[in-house]
Each structure stands twice: as C-alpha cells, then as structure tokens.
C-alpha cells in the first residue's frame, strides 16, 4: 500500500532480482537538472525513483536509492542544481553540454556566460575531474562556419582553464528532429579538410590549457590530430568512481560504443530547451504537455502512478 498524494491506492508490487543498479543516468532523455531538479532532490530524500517503461507504460521500475553508487548527470544548464549540491550525498559525475550556438538553435538556454560561471562554481564544489564539457554536436552552415567553431572552442578553453580537464566533441547525427529542422540547421556534410582543421585547431587550443579533447563512438575520432577516443562512461572510469565492474550497455549493441550499462530515469519529449538538433525531443507539443503533467512530489518524473501499474522493485543481485 502506498500513499499517492492524498488518497490511498493499492499497487501491484513485485520484487525483481535483476542486474546491479548502481549508476543513474540523469538524463540522456531530458534535462532533469535544468527543469526538474526539485523533483530529483525529493526522490533522493524519499529513497526511491519510479521509471515508467517507455515501451510498456504499465510496467514501472522502482530504483532504490540505497542501491545507487553514482549519479551521472547530463545537462546543458547546471545553474538550478548549484544550491542543491550540498544536499546530495551520492557520488556525482557531470557531462555539461556547452556550445557556441545562439537562440536560433538553442532557444531555451540561458546566457552562456551564466552557464560558464555555473560550471566554474560546480568545479570548485565537486572537483574538475568530475566534470566533462561536451562541445556537442558540431555542424557547419553559413552562420556557424568552421572559423566560428574554432574561435568559439578556443574561447571556451580559455574561460574554463583550470576548471575542467576534458572536453568531448561529437558531430551532428541525422535524428528525426534534425531532419525536421533541416531548414533551420541547414548543415553541410563535413569533408576531410573540415575534420583536419577541427582536429588540429581544437587539439592546439585544448593543449594550451591542459585540457584533453576526445570523442566517443564517432566514425571520425580525430586521433591522428591528438584527440583520444574514449567512452563517456568506460569500465575503467566506472570502476574508478564506484569500485565496481559493469557490463557494456546492451541497448547500444548496434552502436560502436563501449559505455557501460546505466539506468536512465528521464522521459523523452520533456526537455524545454527545444534544441533543434536534439535526439530526445521530436514533438514540441508533447514536450509542453509532459511538462504540464510534472508533479515534483510524484515518484515519476512525468505524471503519477495509476492503480493498475505494475511496479518492479529492482534489487542488487
């Protein structure tokens, strides 16, 4: 029996002995830090998080916070969580996307200067080795030229000198949302001259400021220009952060990625940055509908539990 914010409801609860759940991805499906950080703190305090199966909505996976060893944050705006970091008792690792695009491409983001200041504060709080900047994705058009990216990347390296040790880059992929927004993005296919120029220029900028620049699962990893090819969350990094060994990410078996398994607690079509290249949003009306369904006191990110939901409590083996 569980209290559902004002009424008593009986749920079908099953104890499920499954894979070890110790790394939460917060989140590849939406920006929880930017838009739902109050909900996250509530869930950490309550001791569990419910995640609805996107392919079978009646099935809900319950993750017990005691079984979590690492919070892997993915965000474009760390500002809302800065004053909450002191309340988080779990180990944290941040990927923060920072690009040079403007409101035509990233309409929902605050001023980049404010984001950079937030990154500096976060670095001072948790240490620069626990933050990775993502200059991601790179695309080139008449406005965002090759020279534009080179200058922007160099400026980021200057501003974040001493605050981060890694910057990860990737190139634009043709997701559904990218195709829908092609007239806005109007990107051109990169040729070898473009890759070489990016590789040499970015490597030089990063090296001057003691920053490692790398790629993950890219066809052009630019290693010949001084990049390293490394996973976003490799077995080695996961072991360093948690002292445990994990399997590869099964969901990415058809992708050349060696990242380890994590559990994403986000929901697609719920990020209000509305970035035109986003892979997790493809229906802006649904984004607003989902956002309006959010209740910071619910155990679910979007909506609340229903009486006929089947909850599986996932336990460490």
Q: For the chain, what are the domain ranges?
A: 2-315
pLDDT score at 13: 53
Tally of CB atoms within 10 A around 65? 16
The tens place of each residue's pLDDT in the chain, 317 residues long, gives 343 433 334 456 544 434 455 799 999 999 999 999 999 999 999 999 999 988 899 999 999 999 999 999 999 999 999 999 999 999 999 999 999 999 999 999 999 999 999 999 999 999 999 999 999 999 999 999 999 999 999 999 999 999 999 999 999 999 889 999 999 999 999 999 999 999 999 999 999 999 999 998 888 999 999 999 988 888 889 889 988 888 776 655 555 667 788 889 999 999 999 999 999 998 999 999 999 999 999 999 999 999 999 999 986 65
pLDDT score at 131: 97
- Strand, coil or helix: 97: strand
Instruction: Calculate ∠ Cα 13-19-25, nearest 5°.
Output: 90
User: In this structure, what DSSP letter does residue 250 have?
Assistant: G
Residue 316 to residue 82: CA distance in whole angstroms = 30
Residue 294 to residue 78: CA distance in whole angstroms = 20
pTM: 0.90
pLDDT score at 252: 53
């Amino acid at each position: 029996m569980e209290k559902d914010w004002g009424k008593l409801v009986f749920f079908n609860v099953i104890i499920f002995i499954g894979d070890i759940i110790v790394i939460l991805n917060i989140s590849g499906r939406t920006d929880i830090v930017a838009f739902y950080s109050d909900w996250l703190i509530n869930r950490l305090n309550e001791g569990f998080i419910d995640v609805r199966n996107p392919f079978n909505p009646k099935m809900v996976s319950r993750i017990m916070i005691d079984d979590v060893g690492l919070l892997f944050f993915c965000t474009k705006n760390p500002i809302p969580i800065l004053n909450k970091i002191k309340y988080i008792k779990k180990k944290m690792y941040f990927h923060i996307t920072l690009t040079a695009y403007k409101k035509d491409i990233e309409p929902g983001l605050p001023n980049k200067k404010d984001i950079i200041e937030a990154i500096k504060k976060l670095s001072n709080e948790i240490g620069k080795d626990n933050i990775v900047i993502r200059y991601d994705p790179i695309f080139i058009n008449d406005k965002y030229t090759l020279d534009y990216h080179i200058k922007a990347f160099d400026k980021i390296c200057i501003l974040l000198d001493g605050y981060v040790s890694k910057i990860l880059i990737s190139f634009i992929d043709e997701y559904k949302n990218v195709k829908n927004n092609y007239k806005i993005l109007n990107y051109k296919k990169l040729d070898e001259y473009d890759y070489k120029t990016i590789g040499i220029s970015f490597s030089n900028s990063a090296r001057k400021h003691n920053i490692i620049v790398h790629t993950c699962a890219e066809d052009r990893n630019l290693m010949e220009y001084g990049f390293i090819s490394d996973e976003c969350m490799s077995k080695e990094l996961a072991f360093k952060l948690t002292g445990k060994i994990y399997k590869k990410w099964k969901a990415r078996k058809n992708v050349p990625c060696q990242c380890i398994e994590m559990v994403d607690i986000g929901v697609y079509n719920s990020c209000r940055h509305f970035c035109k290249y986003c892979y997790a949003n493809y229906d802006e009306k649904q984004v607003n509908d989902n956002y309006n369904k959010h209740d910071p006191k619910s155990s679910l990110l979007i909506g609340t539990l229903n009486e006929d939901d089947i909850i599986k409590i996932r336990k460490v083996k």
